[in-house]
Structure 1
Amino acid sequence: MVGGGQLARMTHEAGIPLGINFKVLSDTPQDSAAKVVGEVVIGDYRDLDTLRAFAQGCDVITFDHEHVPTEHLRALEADGIPVRPGPDALVHAQDKGVMRARLTELGIPCPRHRIVADPADVARFAAEEAGGFPVVLKTVRGGYDGKGVWVVDSAEDAAIAQPFLAGVPVLAEEKVDYTRELAANVVRSPHGQAVAYPVVESVQVRGVCDTVIAPAPGLPDELGAAAQQLALRIAAELNVTGHLAVELFETTDGRVLVNELAMRPHNSGHWTQDGAVTSQFANHLRAVLDLPLGDPRPRAPWTVMVNVLGGDYPDMYPAYLHCMARDPGLKIHMYGKDVKPGRKVGHVTTYGDDLSEVRERARHAADYLRGTIDE
């Protein structure tokens, strides 16, 4: 796996029962996965020679992020190294402009959009296609967790937006009138087998995923099925191998629009570690190794995951005593990271029959671990 973050750490964990020999290309020895994986190579994923050396002896290469240059992935394939997902698929998660163009070509519902060259172009887009300001601006590559995204209320705002100052391609989108954000997670293998997890509600706070509720409360059955079918169709049309997260807007008029794609295990699927028969991590491994996929069904009527962000307490372990004693059914997953304010350092999951109770348990534990509550 290229990338040594928490996704690699949890994917490695899922591979242990399967006897999978797991190797990681990590930026530093301090990265989350580098602390626990047996075979770690420290190097720069942007360097082709490093990638080629890392790939030697591997049956398959996969990723915990989308940032490896597309041309490097093509070079690995030319060397005979299986890359999953392949570069022709992964580019749709790397480049938002390519993704929007392809999904539009396929008739997949998306926000109205346009690649814009300058603030005047933003103003024209707002007037001609978006129904006016505000407009959302996104760097076509590299943004995540709210980074590389700006909401502008005027051409003047667009004139001082950082992407234009940096001279990078910019995607302008209408600001969608939505009721909530959803995510449809699916997994597809090279021979075309695919499974779909229940559609979840994803609650964002300042651009960062805070809470995931599985399944999405109050989602009409037909809309949930449509979202799953949409994700499965995208996976097939783009020839995705592995896990695909399709982030969605549920609009005020009862539709879903595609917001983002991720072709790797995803934050909206972390609930599956404890709440599904087969986790997203295990199924991603099964898919990239072309093994039969596992059952995606939930174990309980409700599962809630809440991210644990760094706060005022650099050492969270003393809080375990309170959290574990208060809720023996609580599942805590920490990533081995240094604690910094606002940084994702772990997550908790709870599950059960009563959504209000399950949600309160997860919320309390995450807040206590962070130090925002003390009882």
Structure 2
Amino acid sequence: MTVRVGVIGGGQLARMMIAPAVELGLDLRVLAEADGMSARLAATAVGDYRDLETVRAFAQDVDVITFDHEHVPQEVLRALVDDGVKVHPGPDALQFAQDKLVMRARLAELRIPQPDWAAVHDAAELQAFLDDHGGRAVVKTPRGGYDGKGVRVVASGTDVDDWFSGLDEGGALLVEELVPFVRELAQQVARRPSGQIVAYPVVETVQRDGVCAEVIAPAPDATDRLVRVAAEIGHRIAEGLGVTGMLAVELFETDDERILVNELAMRPHNSGHWSQDGAVTGQFEQHLRAVADLPLGVTERRAAWSVMVNILGGPAEGALEDRFPAAMAQHPEAKIHTYGKAPRPGRKVGHVNVSGEDLDDVVYTARAAAAFFA
């Protein structure tokens, strides 16, 4: 019997699940937020993912629910579970990707290495943390932030008074030490409901203005210890939080050789786009395998190196697709993926993957191919 997988959210992550779903013989259905979204080819419903009855109606026609994003409210998720719907990842796991304060507290219980942190309710508490951590820190809104949004480096307890004033009664912000990192990494693992876990190679991510710009797989100059520790962290989090599907763990490598957890995402993730073309099993196929509780695929690389370069913003004039012929002619080894989104400064509208045996050549080709779409 064909398994019907319902994806809540019609963005580019849902879009990139379409092809592997077809190849796996799965029936992919999407609840999109609006008409014309990235995953419109598979959209079978349009509606508000925050509305329980809308989501319930969508869930009636699928065998399992998964997500393009982490923003579906807990009360909606728990009502689906109470209705007997299979939800992967489930609400007990997803809460840790929805609220950074909840995540930090749970990782502390699991003794996962992470930056020093605190919940702060006002400027005085923030100033006390700053005084104890060298006078500078990172403040984050616990919910809703991504791609640099909801994140601010501060040097005074009053630097986020606007955020404090917007908190609900008893609410708090997350403050973290300003980590002396030498680079950012990401570790992806996949876990199926029956418990099988596989890990991908740890990768290096390059951020610009708070947005992931490039990913290098595997992370250059990664020691055996780094590879082992990153994979262990991914396994421990997936099991400790009960994650099902893809899990991305964003990491800091510090100047004193610590590996610290920065953020979590319980879905396919930008740091894993390289795997579409550079791994035996890409992350979108793997996510579908996991949520359908199918045996997980091999995660080995197809080449020594793979590099992903995001297409940010897109061309000022003309459609993105108009640039395909020239880019393909100049760089036939590049794999170009676009999201069906209108160009806008800073917006992720696509990415380019290149794999090969020489890292310098792979980086150059990926950047050059992506430049055709600027």
TM-based fold match above 0.5: yes
Contact 1:335 1:345 in 2 (8 A): yes
For residues 145 and 165 of structure 1, what CA distance do their matches in structure 2 show?
Answer: 23
Alpha-carbon separation, structure 1, partners of 2:195 and 2:370:
38
Q: State the one-letter code of the partner of 1:255.
A: R
Aligned residue in 2 for 1:148 = 150
Report SS of the residue matched to 2:131. Answer: helix
What are structure 1's unaligned runs of at least 5 residues? 371-375
Q: Which residue of 2 aligns with 1:373?
A: none
The AA in structure 2 aligned to 1:142 is G
Larger displacement relative to structure 2 (311-320 or 230-239):
311-320
Deviations 1:46-69 (A, max 9, x none): 001111111002110000100001
Partner Cα distance (1:317, 1:30) in 2:
17
**Do residues 138 (structure 1) and 140 (structure 2) align?**
yes
Corresponding residue for 1:115?
119
Q: 1:188 is matched with which residue?
A: 191
1:155 CA drift (Å):
2.2
Aligned to 2:35: 29
| Alignment of 1:44 onto 2:48 | yes
Query: Structure 2: any 5+ residue segments left out of the alignment?
Result: 1-6
TM-score by length of 1: 0.95
Partner of 1:166: 166
Give the Cα–Cα distance (whole angstroms) in 1 for the partners of residues 317 and 146 of structure 2. Answer: 25
Question: Quick check: 2:130–2:157 contact (8 Å CA) kept in 1?
Answer: no
1:247 counterpart = 2:250: yes
SS at match of 1:157: coil
What amino acid sits opposite 1:6 in the alignment? Q
- Which of 3, 10, 14 matches 1:8? 14
Counterpart contact for 2:130–2:155, Cα < 8 Å: no
For 1:313 and 1:186, locate their aligned partners in 2 and report how far apart those are by CA, in whole Å. Answer: 39
Q: 1:224 offset after TM fit, Å?
A: 1.2
Moved more, 223-232 or 311-320: 311-320
Deviates more, 1:39-48 or 1:311-320: 311-320
Query: What are the equivalent positions in structure 2 for 1:276-315 lying under 5 Å apart?
Result: 276-311=279-314, 312-315=316-319
**Structure 1 CA distance for aligned equivalents of residues 187 and 153 of structure 2:** 25
Identity of aligned residues (%): 57
Tell me if structure 2 keeps the 8 A contact 1:314–1:340. no
**Structure 2 equivalent of residue 316 of structure 1:** 320
Counterpart of 1:340 in structure 2 is: 344
Q: Distance in 2 between matches of 1:345 and 1:336?
A: 7
Partners of 2:358 and 2:281 in 1: how far apart?
Answer: 22
Q: 2: distance between equivalents of 1:317 and 1:32?
A: 14
Listed one character per residue, the Cα deviations across residues 282-325 of structure 1 (whole Å, up to 9, x for unaligned) are 01000001000001111000000000012423422232222111
Amino acid at match of 2:166: A
Alignment match, 1:63: 67
Change (3 A) 1:133 1:84: same
Q: Which moved more, 1:264-273 or 1:16-25?
A: 16-25
Two-structure CA RMSD over aligned residues (Å): 1.1
Partner letter of residue 345 of structure 1? V
> How far 1:71 sits from its partner (Å)?
1.5
Aligned partner of 1:272 among 252, 271, 275: 275
Q: 1:86-141 CA deviation, whole Å, 9 max, x = no partner?
A: 1000100001000000000111001110110011110011223xx22211110101
Cα distance in 1, alignment partners of residues 338 and 193 from structure 2: 32
Distance 1:207 1:13 in 2: 30
